Chain A
Amino acid sequence: MIRFDGVTKQFPDGTVAVDDLSLTAPTGKITVLVGPSGCGKTTSLRMVNRMIEPTRGAIVIDGQDTARMDQAQLRRGIGYVIQHAGLFPHRTVLDNIGTVPRLLGWDRARTRERSRELLERVGLDARLADRYPTQLSGGQQQRVGVARALAADPPIMLMDEPFSAVDPIVRDQLQDEFLRLQDELDKTIVFVTHDIDEAIKLGDQVAVLRVGGSLAQVAEPAYLLAHPADDFVADFVGRDRGYRSLQFQPSPRLPLRSERTVVLGERPGEAGSAWLLVVDEHRHPVGWVEPGRVGDRPVEDADLHRGGTLARADGTLRGALDAALSSPSRRGVVVDDSGALIGTVLAHEVLSAIEDTDRPERDERDPVRGGAVDVAGEQA
């Protein structure tokens, strides 16, 4: 657990970058610091590994005041992922990854073995091992940066906008891989981003900072979307927050109707309705057709409308609603774990289910911290 205890940072030129910040990053969870540019996210992050020293207040890791620890040793025990990767240009990918193990005195062979393992872990081809950073794409560099931070298996990771420099598709993919990795590793992570969507997607807990470096609100994502503490947070969290909060709501049992289907390559037969669902031989939905247009011939790939998204029966209400809204027939397709068709659901049926769900309850006593992750079980 990392505890910010009334931390203030004033730079020599008088800028107050962080103002009396008190915050807890629970062990094994991802705490995201989010806010507009210049609100002190990077400064807050860098005070954890003492790349910046606080002016007032303390940062305590598992009960130990960081101010009393040896700087270099503290940093070797904390993985640090820098915004633009910050790789060493003169070192190969493998040597970049092995930096901290070497500093800790591991021998060459063990370091190389560990570095290769991490290369694979972050999804990079073993053939990249002897490349230099300039020979990598932005996304690859970012992965190497993550591997380097993980190399000595530190319990804590600090990540400063690690995915902001890559294009949206790669970013999305890096985020998914990051969540998968965290599932296995259970690190205590402080993650900085200016992107509220990224914060909501990745955070177990999201801390919104305002310019001037003060805490606006800290809460679990669903709570943040449901109960913004003030206008600033509400604005920052943005439009569509009602809709987006559905992604944290598991679907209850929805009233599914059975759907008439045709297998791709076969004839639609008698037109029952305007739209007919097409499946493959494993009953996996592949799209919709208008039987009137196909007539008496077999359904071809070119006939398919693929606009509809698929919802999983054990997915979220957001997925179910989106499936209904995006379906050309207005019937949302629901599939099981294996991707096989179970049935369809209508938008108004999903909406009724939504009306029956509970929103996270608002903590009236503490609007700013009411929705934060509970750390009662942890050592202060």
Chain B
Amino acid sequence: MIASLLSWFTDAETWAGESGIGNRLLEHLWYTLATMVVAMVLAVPAGLWVGHTGHARWLVTVANSLRAVPTLGLLLAASLWLRTLPGDLAYVVPSIAVLALLAIPPVLAGTYGGIEAVDPAARDAAYGVGMRGRQVLWQVEVPNALPLILSGVRSAVLQVVATATIAAIVGLGGLGRFIIDGLALSDYAQAGGGALLVAVLALALEGLLALVQRRLVSPGLSGRPVGGSRKDDEDAPREEPGESTVDLRTPA
């Protein structure tokens, strides 16, 4: 098995041309990206709105129940229904739509949950210093909710990368091609190679998003050390009777 996998991966044929790994990988990435854009354009604003206003919480429940819909059945039904669309669109639109439906629940739940979980004292302080609703949302709620929002996005990306293989079923490309074609031809090296590629891509994207999260989330929330000063520094917080204006002031 390992030997045949290796020979599949090392065969120049596997990498070349339209049906080579390079192109399939790009197609797969493109489906994932398009799906995430659609899902986030819908789910992030909705989550922010529900979280900020507390209105229409049922939206989150409804979205969560979407997770129960069988993806494959839905994809076939949608393809039948949309088969009159011109050219590739007849396959691309239903595929992206079905994948987006999969991505919306985690993004919506993460966004709404993140806003909801913001420390009420911070929100109260935001209004108390004179921020207006929008300022509270963008200057306080969103930055504080970012870890949960991004973890929703990450779990959606993982699911979409894994599930985008089904696009091959309705005749599209992507890494799913290797799996579907491999299975059809009983070429298990090809099928296994495709599955492995999906897993590697998922891990790579996960790593990339973890980096993005590190850059975007304030160190005040992640507890990462800032500029070398940590809690256990020599000048770490201490409640001391001697703590005074004079003691603490550094020479200019």
Contact = CB atoms under 8 A, between A and B. Distances in A.
Contacts of B129: 75-76, 80, 99-100, 103, 148
Contacts of A92: 220
Contacts, number: 113
B122 A89 contact: yes
Contact of B248 (A76, A77, A91, A123): A123
Given A51-B128, A134-B220, A173 B243 contact: yes
A166 B218 contact: no
Interface residues of B, number: 38
B17 interface: no
A124 B248 contact: yes
A72 B132 contact: yes
Interface string B99-141: 0000000000000000000010110111111111001000010
A64 interface: no
A41 to B, nearest CB: 16
B130 A76 contact: yes
A120 B249 contact: yes
A134 B124 contact: no
A264 B243 CA distance: 29
Interface of B: 119, 121-122, 124-132, 135, 140, 143-144, 218-221, 223, 226-227, 229-231, 235-239, 241, 243-245, 248-250
A271 interface: no
A169 interface: yes
Give the one of A75, A133, A135, A138 with max B CB within 10 A: A135
A91 B220 CA distance: 7
Contact of B128 (A49, A127, A139): A49
A152 to B, nearest CB: 9
A130 B226 CA distance: 8
A89 B145 CA distance: 11
B219 A132 contact: yes
A127 B235 contact: yes
Q: How large is the interface on A (under 10, 10 to 19, 20 to 34, 35 or more residues)?
A: 35 or more
Given A75-B128, A90-B144, A90-B221, 19 more contacts: A51-B124, A51-B127, A75-B127, A82-B125, A84-B121, A86-B121, A86-B125, A88-B125, A88-B144, A89-B119, A89-B220, A89-B221, A90-B143, A103-B130, A125-B235, A135-B236, A139-B243, A148-B129, A167-B239
A126 to B, nearest CB: 6
Nearest to B231: A135
Given A89-B144, A90-B218, A80 B243 contact: no
A123 B128 CA distance: 24
A323 to B, nearest CB: 22
B123 to A, nearest CB: 9
A127 B220 CA distance: 16
A72 B121 contact: no
Q: Give the 3 A-B residue pairs with the shortest CB-CB distance, closest first.
A: A132-B220, A137-B237, A76-B130
A380 interface: no
A86 B124 contact: yes
A290 B223 CA distance: 57
Contacts of A140: 237
Given A75-B127, A123-B244, A130 B227 contact: yes
Interface string A226-260: 00000000000000000000000000000000000
A84 B250 CA distance: 27
Interface in A53-95: 71-77, 80, 82, 84, 86-92
Contacts of B119: 89
Contacts of A100: 129-130
A170 interface: yes
Contact of B124 (A74, A82, A99, A133): A82
Nearest to B135: A103
A177 interface: yes
Given A126-B249, A126-B250, A130-B226, A72 B131 contact: yes
Contacts of A80: 125, 128-129
Contacts of A169: 239, 241
Contacts of A49: 128
Contacts of B241: 169-170, 173
A131 interface: yes
B91 to A, nearest CB: 43
A166 to B, nearest CB: 7
B210 to A, nearest CB: 19
A375 interface: no
A136 interface: yes
14 contacts: A51-B128, A75-B130, A86-B128, A87-B122, A88-B126, A89-B122, A89-B220, A90-B144, A90-B218, A125-B235, A135-B229, A167-B239, A170-B243, A173-B241
Nearest to B225: A135
Given A82-B124, A90-B143, A135 B243 contact: no
Contacts of B127: 51, 75
Nearest to B241: A169
Interface string A139-177: 110000000100000000000000000110110010001
